[in-house]
Structure 1
Amino acid sequence: MPATAKNCIFLMMEGGPSHIDTFDPKPVLAKLHLQEFVREGKQKSAMESGKRYYVRSPFKFRRHGESGADMAENWTHLAAVADEICFFRGCQVDSVNHPTAMYQMNCGNRFGGDPGIGAWVTYGLGSMNQNLPGFVVLPEVSYPQGGSANWSNGFLPACFQGTPLRPGGSPILDLQPPVGVTVEQQRRNLDLLARMNQRHAAQHPDQEDLSARMLSYELAFRMQTEVPGAIDLSSEDEKTRSMYGIGSAATDAFGRKCLLARKMVEKGVRFIQLYNGTWDSHDYIERAHGNLVRGVDQPIAALISDLKQRGLLESTLIVWCGEFGRTPDNGVRGGTAYGRDHNPNAMTIWLAGGGCKAGHTIGATDETGMTAVEDVHHVRDFHVTLLRLLGLDDNKLNYYHAGRFKQLSQFGGNVIESLVTGLAPLFP
């Protein structure tokens, strides 16, 4: 199937960023500010019970680019590349809790145990660089809700799991052989180990993990020569490092991740997932979201611009999302320190590059931002669309496990045609 994108950079804003305070303005909330009400209908969590108060956004919004994209005032750098972005306001998920929502966004299944998106992509497309993992993860020091299961191989062979790089110090521990051990000695040791493992594998053909472990040993050996160059940011000129915000306290950490992601794309890594958070702002949302946006705004804008000037944006799909959105109200637990609670019914996801419909805003939420009301799609349709942009058919990308063929979308879904442009038709 013809692909629009060859690589994907997935920017995961863990904790649930507020669409109402980032990319989906709701001016009516200024009129409703601190008005009390009781939410009707079925409650999904204790957060929705009791007295509720509408809360206005502390941020002003402006429109940017020829597309007139809505952005909160503190997205000063991303505003410059607004016309490269496709905003999607119609996505919904099933869970109101962090771990299950994270699993669903990352793996398609709320309950964990399934492969991450990157695992499915590398299973379907393979790797373009045999000396690097096909699926690389750049987490925070503290792993996200749900832990490493968010980038697990699940029931796929272990060679497809995400490889996390440490955010500080040496990205991969024990990458180099011990002092005094030469490459030749290490090669002989690995060859001996491989012969023993192959003999054992032949005697126990049902133990698939052993073959995956053998492959991982060989990959680790090859990575010793490939990884140092791929992660060496000192080879970048000062102008590039400064563009990503490296060296500035607020932007250094995520700037390094974004620059590493660009270098990984250049090296042929299929799927790179970057984590940032936590965006879980039940209180003090002005301060919390303000600091978080300040940390990612410049690096993300630099990533988009850098990929474009290098001719890589068209072949690289960038995704920005959280696990859910946030409510237009909360219980005002912090007094005047207003925040917002979890909202699975409305959120903003945006795409850049890779065949997305740049310069468009697709879908809409109601006047308060509580529920998606136009171009509404379950997250499974978003997953199907992401795979399609990478040239993969969700219905054909499956794996037999526990008595049935399984897929990322769980039960199938539909491409969100309004998000994409120039796709070849699907063939049976």
Structure 2
Amino acid sequence: MFPEFNPHPIFKDYVRYETRRQFFRRGASLMGAAALGMLAPGLAKGAEKVASLSHAKNQPIGPHFAPRAKRVIYLHMVGGPPQMDLYDYKPAMGEYYDKDLPESIRMGQRLTTMTSGQARFPIAPSKYKFQQHGKSGMWVSELLPWTSKMVDDMCFIRSMHTEAINHEPAICYMQTGNQITGRPCLGSWVSYGLGSMNSSLPTFVVLVAKPTNTEQVQAISGRLWSSGYLPGQHAGVSFRSAGDPILYINNPNGVDAKVRRSMLDGLKALNEMNYHDVGDPETHTRINQYELAFRMQASVPELTDMSGEPESVYQLYGNEAKKPGTFANTALLARRMVERGVRFVQIYHNNWDTHANVSGRLPMQCKDVDQPCYGLIQDLKQRGMLDDTLVIWGGEFGRTIYSQGGLSKDNYGRDHHPRCFTMWMAGGGSKGGTIYGETDDFSYNIVKDPVHIHDFHATALQLLGMDHERFTFRYQGLDQRLTGVEASRVVRELIA
């Protein structure tokens, strides 16, 4: 079928540098196949063919049971939103203004180096008014008037907690289930488990929204949406807000679609020869990605062209939706993506790290996301998509009730706080109108129904039809999973 091929020395290095464990594992498979071939030749050949096809095509595992959600839109607020200024109402703090945080509340818990050297830890009650809304009676800050209209569609978790206290490990933990980089993120796991819903678009897309206020923007690393040890095809594809949505989406001058198709056919033949000689499954990943890129040259321009959206849609999301790169624009684009079969859309919105100037920055942050989040939920609902689309909102940790640095009645700052923070979900089988978990009067410790990051991941996978304990990938001799080896639970109270 193929002409004689003399492999490059680098291909021989692939075998030369394999580990002892890889060698014995390969040898064990060979001996097993030989024994099977002697006992049942037909069965051995059939099993080998099925395994080869499955491995080569990187077929998804598929759900373990009927899923409630088919797709996910994850809205990550980078920097850590202050829960006591948004969702975790603490009226008793008014009496503690400028008093030190009691040691009986802190209990010697770890602080960041930004406040550990402070002589005092003055309590800074939220300066924003709260009201109860909906049948659930959820308390919501005046900074979120649009969100307050839909609390009965939302499932609030006020008892999230993490061990990470600094941004890089905390964001990594929230996204991948581990503070150490190099692991697959939630989007990659979903891609690996459930596969594509549209062969002409990526399964997992990442959008980075630019905040209106850029006072203290956190670095967001592409490692957050890498596929880690999963096959490379499950990595997130990052869309840009300016210029071509994806680099090199257009052919260069002088190269038309026919020439491009011919080039890819030749490249595929060379890659198949490489796979035949070496057997590296990543070769087929590369073939699949080249083919997807070719199909995306037609599908992506249509996806990102919003000129056909009616004015009523822009009124729903807000006028900022007309400006590329804004949170409103990316929220609308996320709806267009899931509508066309993108399985997982990850949106990052930056600048929630309010160490100072809460009064100056937090209103702008909330204005960026408030109406667009409302518009997204209502848009999905109107299109009959909310029931099987899981929307997630939250950061990597919370903020402290005490002020970092100076304190005045007009302004204050808040440091990182991993002990408790608030997240919410909507749609996708989550239980709307639920308020789960409680914190103490200082929004410092959890007093009821704690939810760890791994519990949250287990619950999200459950909604997607995946059993987090059985959903694994073999790597370095271990069955790796998103929720790690620690005891984790599905929070059934969050599921409708």
Contact 1:136–1:162 under 8 Å retained in 2? yes
Which residue does 1:416 correspond to in 2?
A: 491
| SS in structure 1 at match of 2:108 | coil
Correspondence 1:27 to 2:87: no
Which residue does 2:267 correspond to in 1?
A: 193
Contact 1:137–1:272 under 8 Å retained in 2? yes
Give 1:227 shift: 1.1
Contact 2:124–2:407 under 8 Å retained in 1? no
Which residue does 1:45 correspond to in 2?
A: 112
1:28-427 equivalent positions in 2, closer than 5 A: 28-37=92-101, 39-49=106-116, 50=118, 51-140=120-209, 145=219, 147-205=221-279, 207-247=280-320, 253-333=326-406, 337-411=411-485, 413-421=488-496
| SS in structure 2 at match of 1:201 | helix
Distance 1:164 1:250 in 2: 18
Contact 2:322–2:329 under 8 Å retained in 1? no
Contact 1:12–1:274 under 8 Å retained in 2? yes
Distance change (3 Å), C-alpha of 1:42 and 1:242 = closer
Contact 1:283–1:334 under 8 Å retained in 2? no
The residue identity in structure 2 corresponding to 1:102 is: I
Give 1:248 shift: 7.1
Distance 1:255 1:135 in 2: 20
Distance 1:376 1:246 in 2: 39
Distance 1:186 1:248 in 2: 35
Cα-to-partner distance string for 1:284-320 (whole Å, 9 max, x where unaligned): 1122111000011011100000100110000100000
Give 1:250 shift: 9.5
Cα-to-partner distance string for 1:217-245 (whole Å, 9 max, x where unaligned): 11000111111111211110112123211
Greater alpha carbon shift after TM alignment, 131-140 vs 6-15: 131-140
Distance change (3 Å), C-alpha of 1:171 and 1:189 = same
Runs of at least 5 residues in structure 2 that lack an aligned partner in the other structure: 1-64
Identity of matched residues, %: 38
Greater alpha carbon shift after TM alignment, 135-144 vs 77-86: 135-144
Distance change (3 Å), C-alpha of 1:108 and 1:247 = closer
Cα-to-partner distance string for 1:94-131 (whole Å, 9 max, x where unaligned): 10000000001000000111001000001000111011
Contact 1:102–1:146 under 8 Å retained in 2? no
Give 1:90 shift: 1.4
Higher helix fraction (1 or 2): 2
Give 1:185 shift: 0.8
| SS in structure 2 at match of 1:234 | coil
Give 1:331 shift: 3.3
Cα-to-partner distance string for 1:124-176 (whole Å, 9 max, x where unaligned): 00111011111001014699545011111000000000001112232112211
TM-score, normalising length: structure 2: 0.81
Distance 2:445 2:133 in 1: 25
Greater alpha carbon shift after TM alignment, 139-148 vs 87-96: 139-148
Contact 1:59–1:286 under 8 Å retained in 2? no
Which residue does 1:5 correspond to in 2?
A: 69
The residue identity in structure 2 corresponding to 1:360 is: T
Contact 2:158–2:437 under 8 Å retained in 1? yes
Segments ≥4 residues shifted beyond 3 Å: 37-40, 140-146, 246-252, 333-337
Cα-to-partner distance string for 1:337-384 (whole Å, 9 max, x where unaligned): 411111111000101011111012111111110012211121100000
Distance 1:179 1:250 in 2: 29
Distance 1:47 1:404 in 2: 38
Distance 2:340 2:109 in 1: 49
The residue identity in structure 2 corresponding to 1:12 is: H
Contact 1:251–1:294 under 8 Å retained in 2? no
Distance 1:222 1:273 in 2: 22
Distance 1:60 1:168 in 2: 38
Contact 2:98–2:123 under 8 Å retained in 1? yes
State the aligned residue count.
420
Contact 2:226–2:236 under 8 Å retained in 1? yes
Contact 1:55–1:328 under 8 Å retained in 2? yes
Distance 1:189 1:112 in 2: 36
TM-score, normalising length: structure 1: 0.94
